[in-house]
Amino acid sequence: MKFVPAQFAAYMQVRSARRNLRALRNYVLVLLAMITAYSVVFHFLMAAEGQRFSWLTGFYWTLTVMSTLGFGDITFKSDAGRLFSMVVLLSGVVFLLIVLPFAFIQFFFAPWLEARSAMRTPREVPDGTAGHVIITHYDPIAVSLTQRLAYQGRPYWVLEPDVKTAMDLHDVGIKVVVGDRDKVETYRALRVERAALVVATGDDYVNTNTVFTAREVCPDVPIVSVVRSADSVDILELAGSTHVLHTPEMLGRALARRTLGGDLRASVIGRFGDLLIAEAPVTGTPLMGKLLADSRLREATGLTVVGVWERGQFMIPAADAVLGPQTALVLAGSEVQMERFSELMAIYSVQDAPVVIVGGGRVGRAVARALDEREVPWRIVEKNPSMAKESGQYVVGSAADREVLERAGLADAAAAVVTTNDDAANIYLTLYIRRLRPELQIVSRATLERNVSTLHRAGADFVMSYASMGANAVYNVLERGDVVMLAEGLEVFRSPIPAALAGRPLAHTKIRETTGCSVVALEIDGEVQISPPPDVLLPRGAELILIGTTEAERLFVERFGR
Amino acid sequence: MLLTELLTPDRIQVPLRGASKDALLEELVEVLRRGGYLSDPADVLRAVRAREEVLSTGIGSGVAIPHGKSNSAPELVMAAGVAPAPVDFDALDGRPVTLVFLLVGPESAAGAHVKALSRISRLVRRDALRERLAAARTPDDFLAVLAEAEST
């Protein structure tokens, strides 16, 4: 009950609460006056009957009669006394037993409860709120985004029209404001004009309305809209969004990038100015079985290997690491260097077999489009006949049916990509496909971040969740695009050189030892120096580009600030 | 872009006479020189050898795809040949090589270069096609087999 004083304070701030309390107090005063009057009358009536009692006994008798307790130890003998007893008894029943509890509930208890729930579900943000992020729907992206914002100490408010839902959100620690998304007043109450960002995470129709309404209140706040359909991109831009994230397309592309099939070119996954970050598998190339140090990649292409994936696990590479069939390289370098790498690798382990895509929804079709660009053949397995296009590339049927998967060519597929929007189904299908093809590469989509590790355990080689990918993209808009998510929980990010490190040689900074982040590049006046030597002095005002897990990034921020 | 657009009968050598990896490279560069496709054959050969030094282009199953970029090759061109006696090429699977495809082009054709390489590699993964190409007796045969494979 440690919240009681706070609740009481909140309760007292409501104007109607003070009025209620005054009414309650007046009623209690009337009651006290009545009890006193009865005690005095008792005293004189008893004296008239010849009985002597103290003043206190008068109060004692009045209360026992009014409360209908009636001990019966003190009684009147005269008719006048008994008539008086009846009056006291009846007024006791009415004022003490009926009106008092009612007044207590009406004027105190009910408003108290109301104030308590109002505190959990405010209708406006506190005075002085600024630099906050407004999230219009608590969807899977918002789940990941709010965690991330809380982590970075950035204030946020989730908008929710339903009080009950809002209360549930409040109870799990989400900061929520109650209000309708299509009302101008809501955005005023949210202080939208002082917000850092508005994130519209509803469906495409609702988002359009939301963005229009928020724009009416504030013409220049940045608004990010998350859209499902490609056709909505223009509409949401017209409505006033400054950024439109076509998330199914982004997710489909991210999954396709990690899918083996076709040739082994480096797939670019992020950009920092002229610096490109790319990934490339080594299976089937002459690099397999070699030590990273012997690969001569750097001499031949100029690229730097900044990390390696080993069965879904990211590692900062050691020179004596052996490149195995499950290894994928994370490379950093310029466009020309990437091109050189692709030229080197384009002839090896080229697969003609199709990639089997499970699920023909938006994400599945985006995977197919990305594979088309790489000239990789594919087959989509789709349960719903109306979603499947009339073409040989679509196989209609349940992916949990072995015969359907065989028709799609799973037996000699290059890889499988599981893309449905139901995490439970994806876990089941990943496990099922893993049992049919123990060596196949399986790439799986999760909707919620929390199912990522389950999908890994079910046998997926690479997993990306819709939630964290979307949250990362929104976060990039907020922080001006300084983070590239390589995979769940792994990022490349940019940071100005911390004051504590300026002027010191890179090797002395112990960034890797103390935080787990590794320096990929140094950017001085827009000039990117990839893999700077350990003795380079870190100039003031320059920027570091680092790679590390979310945890490592947090440690870096904690230790050196941003 | 189709491979048959990069290859003409005068650039197909059936049979190849070279008995070593280097001899094969020289022979195919010579084929291109004869056709007048190179301004400086020595420079092209240097580029192809340099590429070969990084990682062998013997991709396995008796196929090699040597390649290089040099501005001495003004446009993207291909030469191909069949070695009747398989030649050791330090291939990925250790097997000697029968089919050799040489691709050279200028620095500016980087994207097309990668696409063409990927395309050759994809086509020759088909066992039946490799056998039919190796059995070709004339450049026209060779080209006809390739054209047929590309159209399916």
- pLDDT tens by residue, A21-39: 888 899 999 999 999 999 9
Find which of A347, A350, A371 to mutate to test the B interface (most B CBs within 10 Å of its CB). A347
pLDDT beyond 70 at A312: no
Q: Which helix (H) or strand (E) holds A185?
A: helix A184-189
Residue of B nearest to A298 (CA): B54
| CA atoms of A447 and A468, how far apart (whole Å) | 9
**Thinking of the domain A133-241, which architecture would CATH place it in?**
3-Layer(aba) Sandwich (3.40)
What residues in B contact A352, CB-CB < 8 Å?
Answer: 122, 125-126
Percent helix, strand and coil across chain A, each to the nearest 5: 45, 20, 35
At A422 the pLDDT is 96
The answer on pLDDT for A150 being more than 50 is yes
Using alpha carbons, select from B28, B37, B110 the residue that is nearest to residue B64. Answer: B28
- Find, in chain A, the residue whose alpha carbon is nearest to that of B115: A346
Which residue of the set B11, B21, B67, B113 is catalytic?
Answer: B67
How far is the C-alpha of A198 from the C-alpha of A74, rounded, in Å?
74
**Strands A394-396, A223-227: pairing kind:** unpaired
Interface test with A, best of B118, B120, B150 (most A CBs within 10 A): B118
% of chain B beyond a pLDDT of 70: 99
Q: What is the mean pLDDT of residues A197-209?
A: 95
A323 reaches B (C-beta below 8 A): no
Q: pLDDT tens digit string along B34-69?
A: 999 999 999 999 999 999 988 899 998 899 999 999
Q: Does the pLDDT value for residue A350 go beyond 80?
A: no
Per-residue pLDDT tens for A152-165?
Answer: 889 999 999 998 89
Q: Is B108 on the interface with A (CB under 8 A)?
A: no
For the segment B4-40, what is each residue's pLDDT rounded down to a tens digit?
888 999 999 989 998 999 999 999 999 999 999 999 9
pLDDT for position A382: 94
**Predicted pLDDT of residue A482:** 62
pTM over 0.90: no
CA angle A269, A271, A273 (to 5 degrees): 170
B64: distance to nearest CA of chain A, Å? Answer: 9
Yes or no: say if A277 and A268 are a contact pair by the CB < 8 Å rule: yes
Q: With an 8 Å Cβ cutoff, is A346 touching chain B?
A: yes
Cα(A517)–Cα(A389) distance, rounded to whole angstroms? 46
Contacting residues of A for B56, CB less than 8 Å apart: 286
Most confident of A3-12, A458-467, A501-510: A458-467
CATH 1.10.10.10 for domain A4-118: no
Task: Pick A296's closest partner by Cβ from B54, B117, B125.
Answer: B54
Q: Say whether pLDDT at A144 is over 70.
A: yes
- Is A463 in a helix, a strand, or coil? strand
Alpha-carbon distance A439 to nearest alpha carbon in chain B (angstroms): 20
- pLDDT for A1 equals 43
Lowest mean pLDDT among A265-279, A427-441, B90-104: A265-279
State the residue for tokens 């701030």.
Answer: A13
Highest mean pLDDT among A131-145, A273-287, A388-402: A131-145
Give me the pLDDT at residue A4, please: 65
* Model pLDDT, residue A481: 61
Domain ranges of chain B: 3-151
Mean pLDDT computed over every residue of chain B: 90
Max CA distance (Å), chain B: 37
pLDDT confidence band for A146 (50 / 70 / 90)? very high
Where do the domains of chain A lie?
A: 4-118, 133-241, 263-345, 355-467, 489-560
Same fold, A133-241 and A355-467: yes
Model confidence band, residue A12 (pLDDT cutoffs 50, 70, 90): low
At A347, list the tokens: 């002839």
Residue A433 has pLDDT above 70, yes or no: yes
CA angle A45, A48, A51 (to 5 degrees): 85
Any idea which fold A263-345 has? Alpha-Beta Plaits (3.30.70)
Contact call for B118 and A287, based on CB within 8 A: no
Whether A242 has a pLDDT exceeding 80, the answer reads yes
Mean pLDDT of chain A: 88
Of B53, B57, B43, the residue nearest B102 (C-alpha):
B57
- Whether domain B3-151 has CATH 3.40.930.10: the reply is yes
CA A421 to chain centre: 17
Search chain B and give the residue with CA nearest A286.
Answer: B92
- Helix (H, G, I), strand (E, B), or coil: what is residue A439? coil
Strands, DSSP E only, in A183-253? 197-200, 223-227, 243-246
Examine the residue annotation and report whether B113 is marked as an active-site residue of this protein. no
Residue A562 has pLDDT above 70, yes or no: no
Pick the CATH number of A489-560 from 1.10.10.60, 3.30.70.1450, 3.90.79.10, 3.40.190.10: 3.30.70.1450
Give the number of A-B residue pairs with CB atoms closer than 8 Å: 59
Q: What is the pLDDT of residues A37-71, one digit of tens each?
A: 999 999 999 999 999 999 999 999 999 999 999 89
Instruction: Name the residue among A271, A261, A461 with its Cα closest to residue A367.
Output: A261
The candidate with the shortest Cα–Cα distance to A184, out of A212, A143, A153, A162, is A212
Q: Which CATH number fits domain A355-467: 3.30.565.10, 3.40.50.720, 3.40.50.261, 3.40.50.2300?
A: 3.40.50.720
Higher pLDDT pick, A216 / A259: A216
**pLDDT at residue A281 greater than cutoff 90:** no
| pLDDT value at residue A342 | 87
Q: How confident is the model at residue A2 (pLDDT cuts 50, 70, 90)?
A: very low
**Cβ–Cβ gap A287/B55 under 8 Å:** yes
Whether A263 sits inside 8 A of B57 (CB atoms) is no
What is the average per-residue pLDDT within A326-351? 84
Q: Which residue has the higher pLDDT, A316 or A226?
A: A226
Judged by average pLDDT, the poorest of A76-80, A193-197, A258-262 is A258-262
Least confident of A200-204, A387-391, A555-559, B102-106: A387-391
A335 contacts on B by Cβ (under 8 Å): none
Give the tens place of pLDDT for each residue, A104-124. 898 888 888 887 777 778 888
* CB contact (8 A) between residue B118 and residue A347: yes
Alpha-carbon separation of residue A256 from A318, A443, A551, B7, B148 (angstroms): 28, 8, 26, 32, 30
